Chain A
Amino acid sequence: MSDGPRIITAHWGDERVIPYEGYVRVGGYEGLRRALAMSPEEVIAEVKASGLRGRGGAGFPTGVKWSFVPQDTGKPTYVVCNFDESEPGTFNNRELVEREPHQVLEGIAIAAYAIRSNLAFIYCRGEFLWPGSVLRRALEEAYEHGVLGERVLGTDHRLDVVLHRGAGAYICGEETALLSSLEGYRGQPRQRPPFPAIEGLYASPTVINNVETLCFVPHILRNGASWFTSIGTERSPGTKVFSISGKVERPGNYELPMGTPFRVLLEEHAGGVLGGRALKAWTPGGSSTPMLTAEHLDVALDFESVQQAGSMLGTGAVMVMDETDCMVEAVRRMVRFYAHESCGKCTPCREGTWWVSRVLDRIEAGYGRPEDLPLLEDLVPNLLFRGFCPLLDGAVSPVASGLRHFREEFERHIEERRCPFTGRGSATGVAEPPAPPAPQEPAPGPVPLSEVLG
């Protein structure tokens, strides 16, 4: 495995850093201590200078976001840590929390100090039972050791952190839906503006950051902004924890400097494509980012370069597909995910993802019609950027990029009336025409926990 600085995964594998004492032994809470010795404005300035950009998908500069928070509204301010990590292919938040839970708590504490907040929330994905328990334990320790509570590390600063467990909706990772959910409403996105920094939780100024973003903050405070900017690229400084999965020899999380070529991640770290087969497609940032192909092996993994290549860095979740993978099936599954997770609020997403999903079901099952491809190609621009929130754009990405790069695979499905990879389809009589699952009407009322947990 190649070298390069590891910042937030440096202690991975060392279980001693999970409890409070171990974390402190490796320098933990030093960043918070430094921050508390500075003024909140100085903390924001330092984070701004570091150029840290949000790792939750959009890459918005973190310090800038913090500086938007007004201090004169007479309302409280809040910090929310987004730990809803649900984007297919993305799994670094989970490991960051499991392996070093105090790191993200320290980041939260610094953010709270910077925006003068006394109450922070962690929105934990519903299915994350174990990571949630790890966090709960760490929170207890932090209170015991005076990191949280009335006097943060003995100062006058007060901070409480509330762990909130979601109920299993991808959309609740979207920041405004998250806020609705946290307030006890349906998890559906809200109108922006006002942006959360101005009117967020309970209509009060709120900073929302991803777990990974917050993990960098203590290190920036400890080592200084210029140290951070010396890593990565000029406009995407620092490292990134890439989650690589799919057809690779060694799937997992790898922390590499921003700008590392995809080839290095794939070949040097993930051990190359599984079984030495040829690379067909990969997502640079989760299933919502347009797929790239083998032609893009040398794309550098930073916000700008990936965008230039026609996709987005997103969450840095790389899913690798090889030459034996059916792209129609891949696209079908991804769209199905979004159709299932669409919150239902807006028409194009609710109805459009349902429609596209049905059409793809048919094509994969060998019931495609020649007019289905022009239909899909016509639907793409009528869905892209037409939703209330970006979930719909994520749903369109695999379709658009699938058709762009692999149209002939779709055509073969239709011509051969079967899937060329599995051989199943109407032509061979193996597959039934897909019956769309009619939405069931569950009895209203509480769902038993056993059903939620499966």
Chain B
Amino acid sequence: MSREPVTLTIDGREITVPAGTLVIRAAERLGIEIPRFCDHPFLAPAGACRQCYVEIEGQAKLVTSCTTRVAPDMAVRTQVTSELVRRAQAANLEFLLLNHPLDCPVCDRGGECPLQDQALAFGPGESRYIEPKRTYRKPIPLSPLVNLDRERCVLCARCTRFCDEISGDRFIELYDRGAGERVSIAAGEDFRSPFSGNTIQICPVGALTATPYRFVARPFDLSSTDSTCAHCAAGCAIRVDVRRGKVVRVLARDDVEVNDAWICDKGRFAFAAPDRPERVTTPLVRARGLEPASFQEVLGEIAARCRGGRVGILVGGRLADEDAYALSKLARTVLGTNDLDHRRAFHGGRAELLAAARPMSVTYRDVEEAAAILVVGLDAEQELPILHLRIRKAARRGARVFVLHARRTRLHDLGEHLLVRPGHEAFALERIREALAAGGDGPEARIAAALAEAGERAVVLAGPRLAEHPLAADVALGLAERVGARFALCARRAGDRGALRAGVHPTLLPGGRRVTDDVERGQVEAVWGPIPAEPGRDAMGILRAAAGRELDVLYLVGVDPLRDLPDPALARRALANAGYTVIQGLELGELEPYADAFLPAAAAAERDGRVTTWEGRPRPLRAARAPLGLSRPDWEIFVGLAEALGADLGLGSLEAIRAEAEPLLAPREVPVRSSAWGAAGPPQWIEERVLFTYPLLVDEGRLLEGATELKAALEEEPFAEIHREDAEALGVADGGWVRVRTSAGDAVVRARVGETVAPGAVFVPFNQPGLPVAELLAGRFTVGVHLEPAAEPAAEEVA
């Protein structure tokens, strides 16, 4: 579409907009709000509700401004200047209200309902309709999360268009026709889309309501705060609604640079965790048992243990950027250690270095405008749902999408999948690289050709699965560089990229400066003072050190090594053998018996700060309410611990932290090294069957506690996904039981047999109810596995 400017007048006022702009958008730019129900700026025009009529000079009929594009010298008259338009809009409103139940007093939308607002502003006081109204059974649960009230529905088709155009999860559809037309779902189906909540938000009336919000609040007793979702590294703009100190609702905010107008159901519905009774909001210290104490006492006690002692620090994925920076500095300059890590799996390599040093190598917009996208080692829908939607948007705009992953992802309807065994991604990437020169006609050659053709409009998105191989991410990066594509190493958790950038890492300091490089370390020392020069231990190394009684203090910040890391047996030994164990977070959970001290942290909704998206874009967190009890933001705790140790980090406020961090985090050039296999040697072919695992969007993670309806809607029972060839060879039937045995343990789960996973690979989701898969792992998220058909386990065995 050509984009040259077009000048027109609306209500006599001149405006110039790009060609192709819809009249309704052009009017918005002049501040003229044309009433609408079906129009949505992120959906294709529908022209269904007919509320947005305008008059165009020279045209006999009124037109709908949401479907009409501007033309040079067009003279538009809206309801502001045209009596005819006003009358038409009032008449249409009367039509919309004919069969409307006028439920406002009991409708969740009351007080923020476009239909109510317009009826109030423009509608006739009384309806001339005296016939009986249409009635339906209501509400109809479309899923445990979403309810449909057909009487309130104005049939604008926003919800169905969202499912068709945006998520592609076409669970709901308009059925039947005429006055009997209604939104419906196939019998026996659930609206099982991780984006279902968006339909509730864009419904212009109260026809779609959220189970957790039904009858909970009125808009006027909510206090709302604009913030960022901290459930993953997508960085979605959200609004947090609080009623009497409790978060009752989360909504998406529009942000074309990040999440358009959407969020996933986890971001929308998983907000109850900080209010659960299990939350601990006072500092605790072990005396006879764990006993409440003041921050000062507890920090003093911890300081005494740290002074002169050997400290190892493990960090989860939820720290804000400022927390991470303060911790990085605390560890190096006060605790004198490089033994800190936020990662769950090893990365290393140049790709990680680049991610630490250079933000924004790929943005959402780059993805949207790409001509070819290669997704490797990432299940975008489950791990970065909003990135997934952007990839879908790109595909609809013509991008060619390829997914190289061990398991089919929800991009399967738009993109070509190349299923490769976990650990073999690097080989497949190498084959693509070879095909750049050699050509051919296999999938690798197709990918190579598409990437090469797209050149700088190609994007390579590398995900967490590549961390299983020491060089896979670097091979992906090398391929991207060969074709001139943009490359991103996509972090999954909200705190990952910020922690990496800040140097919550055994060998990297802020900005990806290497501990072992005197020049680079010197740059940080110039700001911080002396830093230990020996590389630290990574997460598994820290656990091993603790288990071997080499650590005096094990400091766990927002992490549960029993659940989050791939070697619970080691974690148990580490916890048992550490000299002193400090837990910092929202709750203690299973760590309680091991804790010597507990420091209560504020939840994301209770504090200010920043998180960094997978792109490297900083996003603001804002406190929607005060921290519960004595809990406080992590960075304050770090500063307090430094003080207790007699040190001043010089980081007395968020502003001070940002000011100090900014120059250290400025984008840096990273020396180019060859991406030859190097010391690690070429990857090994894995001959045996392997089990691999990663968390699905909705699982038993701590931050999802309390999100009952969300779990009911989206959480899956544990399963083992097995390729048909393997299943046949082993005599395992789809839906039957299979015993999964690894060197670490065994479990019996239901088999899902199909072609959705690479032959030789078995997928078991990471953290599902009743199956702590971590217990099957031995230090990595892939592990050799033995499978055999099993009898249905007795009830207690299945859990």
Residue pairs across A and B with Cβ atoms less than 8 A apart, 16 shown, are A343-B181, A344-B179, A345-B48, A347-B51, A348-B95, A350-B178, A351-B95, A351-B98, A353-B179, A382-B88, A385-B61, A386-B53, A386-B62, A388-B50, A436-B132, A445-B187
Contacting pair A444 B178 (CB below 8 A): no
**Among B169-177, B549-557, B689-697, B707-715, which stretch is in contact with chain A?**
B169-177
Known contacts A350-B179, A438-B134, A445-B187; A344 and B95 CB within 8 A of each other = no
Return B48 CB to nearest CB of chain A, in Å.
Answer: 5
Chain A residue numbers with a CB within 8 Å of B91 are 348, 379, 382
Q: A344-B179, A444-B184, A445-B187 are in contact. List 12 more A-B contacts (CB 8 A).
A: A345-B46, A347-B95, A348-B95, A351-B96, A351-B98, A354-B98, A355-B129, A355-B131, A371-B128, A387-B50, A388-B47, A439-B182
Known contacts A340-B178, A386-B62; A348 and B131 CB within 8 A of each other = no
Contacting pair B178 A346 (CB below 8 A): no
User: Shortest 10 CB-CB distances between A and B: which pairs?
Assistant: A344-B181, A439-B180, A382-B91, A351-B95, A354-B179, A342-B178, A358-B131, A385-B61, A344-B177, A444-B187
Contacting pair A441 B137 (CB below 8 A): yes
A131 contacts chain B at the CB level, 8 A cutoff: no
Chain A residue numbers with a CB within 8 Å of B92 are 347-348, 382, 386
Q: Which positions 149-166 of chain B face chain A at CB distance < 8 Å?
A: 154-155, 157
Contacting pair A359 B131 (CB below 8 A): yes
What's the Cα separation between A226 and B106 when bound, in Å? 71
Chain B residue numbers with a CB within 8 Å of A445 are 186-187
Contacting pair A191 B178 (CB below 8 A): no
What's the Cα separation between A151 and B180 when bound, in Å? 48
A132 contacts chain B at the CB level, 8 A cutoff: no
Chain A residue numbers with a CB within 8 Å of B47 are 191, 346, 388
What's the Cα separation between A353 and B95 when bound, in Å? 10
Chain B residue numbers with a CB within 8 Å of A339 are 178-179
Interface centre among B45, B88, B99, B180 (most CB of A within 10 A): B180
B224 contacts chain A at the CB level, 8 A cutoff: no
Chain B residue numbers with a CB within 8 Å of A354 are 98-99, 178-179
Digitize A163-192: 1 where CB-to-B-CB distance is under 8 Å, 0 elsewhere: 000000101000000000000001000010
Contacting pair B174 A344 (CB below 8 A): yes
Contacting pair B49 A347 (CB below 8 A): yes
Return B86 CB to nearest CB of chain A, in Å.
Answer: 12
B136 contacts chain A at the CB level, 8 A cutoff: yes
B67 contacts chain A at the CB level, 8 A cutoff: yes
Task: Name A's B-contacting residues (CB within 8 A).
Answer: 169, 171, 186, 191, 339-348, 350-355, 358-359, 362, 371, 375, 379, 382, 385-388, 435-436, 438-445
Contacting pair A444 B175 (CB below 8 A): yes
Chain A residue numbers with a CB within 8 Å of B95 are 347-348, 351-352, 355
What's the Cα separation between A191 and B64 when bound, in Å? 11
Query: How many B residues have CB within 8 A of the partner chain?
Result: 45
Contacting pair A191 B179 (CB below 8 A): no
Contacting pair A444 B154 (CB below 8 A): no
What's the Cα separation between A365 and B757 when bound, in Å? 66
B135 contacts chain A at the CB level, 8 A cutoff: yes
Chain B residue numbers with a CB within 8 Å of A379 are 91
Chain B residue numbers with a CB within 8 Å of A359 are 131
Return B63 CB to nearest CB of chain A, in Å.
Answer: 10
What's the Cα separation between A359 and B176 when bound, in Å? 23
Tell me the number of A-to-B contacts counted with CB atoms below 8 Å: 116
Contacting pair A343 B50 (CB below 8 A): no
Chain A residue numbers with a CB within 8 Å of B178 are 339-344, 350, 353-354
Chain B residue numbers with a CB within 8 Å of A375 are 128
Known contacts A382-B88, A436-B132, A441-B137; A342 and B45 CB within 8 A of each other = no
Interface centre among A169, A347, A352, A443 (most CB of B within 10 A): A347
Contact of B136 among A353, A441, A443 (CB under 8 A): A441
What's the Cα separation between A436 and B178 when bound, in Å? 14
Name the residue on B nearest A341 (C-beta).
Answer: B178
What's the Cα separation between A344 and B96 when bound, in Å? 12
Contacting pair A342 B48 (CB below 8 A): no
Contacting pair B50 A355 (CB below 8 A): no
Contacting pair B175 A347 (CB below 8 A): no
Return A184 CB to nearest CB of chain B, in Å.
Answer: 12
Contacting pair A186 B174 (CB below 8 A): yes
Contact of A386 among B88, B131, B180 (CB under 8 A): B88
Chain B residue numbers with a CB within 8 Å of A441 are 136-137
Digitize B180-196: 1 where CB-to-A-CB distance is under 8 Å, 0 elsewhere: 11101111000000000
What's the Cα separation between A371 and B174 when bound, in Å? 35
What's the Cα separation between A439 and B137 when bound, in Å? 11
Contacting pair B154 A344 (CB below 8 A): no
Contacting pair B179 A351 (CB below 8 A): yes
Chain B residue numbers with a CB within 8 Å of A346 are 47-50
Contact of B176 among A345, A352, A355, A439 (CB under 8 A): A439
What's the Cα separation between A445 and B185 when bound, in Å? 10
Digitize B127-143: 1 where CB-to-A-CB distance is under 8 Å, 0 elsewhere: 01101101111000000
Digitize B93-108: 1 where CB-to-A-CB distance is under 8 Å, 0 elsewhere: 0011011000000000
Interface centre among B50, B60, B175, B176 (most CB of A within 10 A): B50
Contacting pair B131 A436 (CB below 8 A): yes
Contact of A191 among B45, B62, B181, B187 (CB under 8 A): B45
Chain B residue numbers with a CB within 8 Å of A340 are 178
Interface centre among B49, B135, B185 (most CB of A within 10 A): B49
What's the Cα separation between A445 and B186 when bound, in Å? 7
Chain A residue numbers with a CB within 8 Å of B179 are 339, 342, 344, 350-351, 353-354, 439
Contacting pair A438 B135 (CB below 8 A): yes
Q: Which positions 709-745 of chain B face chain A at CB distance < 8 Å?
A: none
Name the residue on A nearest B160 (C-beta).
Answer: A186
Chain B residue numbers with a CB within 8 Å of A436 are 131-132
Contacting pair A169 B88 (CB below 8 A): no
Interface centre among A344, A353, A386 (most CB of B within 10 A): A344
What's the Cα separation between A440 and B137 when bound, in Å? 11
Return B650 CB to nearest CB of chain A, in Å.
Answer: 61
What's the Cα separation between A371 and B60 when bound, in Å? 29
Return A170 CB to nearest CB of chain B, in Å.
Answer: 10
Contacting pair A385 B184 (CB below 8 A): no
Known contacts A191-B45, A375-B128; A351 and B99 CB within 8 A of each other = yes
Chain A residue numbers with a CB within 8 Å of B187 are 443-445
Chain A residue numbers with a CB within 8 Å of B157 are 345
What's the Cα separation between A207 and B373 when bound, in Å? 36
Chain B residue numbers with a CB within 8 Å of A443 are 187
What's the Cα separation between A354 and B174 when bound, in Å? 18
Chain A residue numbers with a CB within 8 Å of B137 are 441
Contacting pair A347 B177 (CB below 8 A): no
Contacting pair B180 A344 (CB below 8 A): yes
Contacting pair B177 A439 (CB below 8 A): no
Return B187 CB to nearest CB of chain A, in Å.
Answer: 5
Digitize B116-135: 1 where CB-to-A-CB distance is under 8 Å, 0 elsewhere: 00000000000011011011
Contacting pair B186 A444 (CB below 8 A): yes
Return A226 CB to nearest CB of chain B, in Å.
Answer: 35
What's the Cα separation between A358 and B88 when bound, in Å? 21
Return A419 CB to nearest CB of chain B, in Å.
Answer: 19
What's the Cα separation between A371 and B128 when bound, in Å? 10
Chain A residue numbers with a CB within 8 Å of B49 are 346-347
Contacting pair A344 B135 (CB below 8 A): no
Name the residue on B nearest A342 (C-beta).
Answer: B178
Return B119 CB to nearest CB of chain A, in Å.
Answer: 14
Return B457 CB to nearest CB of chain A, in Å.
Answer: 20
Chain B residue numbers with a CB within 8 Å of A442 are 176
Contacting pair B50 A344 (CB below 8 A): no
What's the Cα separation between A388 and B67 when bound, in Å? 10
Known contacts A386-B62, A444-B186; A347 and B174 CB within 8 A of each other = no
What's the Cα separation between A352 and B131 when bound, in Å? 13
Name the residue on B nearest A359 (C-beta).
Answer: B131
Chain A residue numbers with a CB within 8 Å of B46 are 191, 345
What's the Cα separation between A340 and B181 when bound, in Å? 11
Chain B residue numbers with a CB within 8 Å of A353 are 178-179
Return B258 CB to nearest CB of chain A, in Å.
Answer: 29
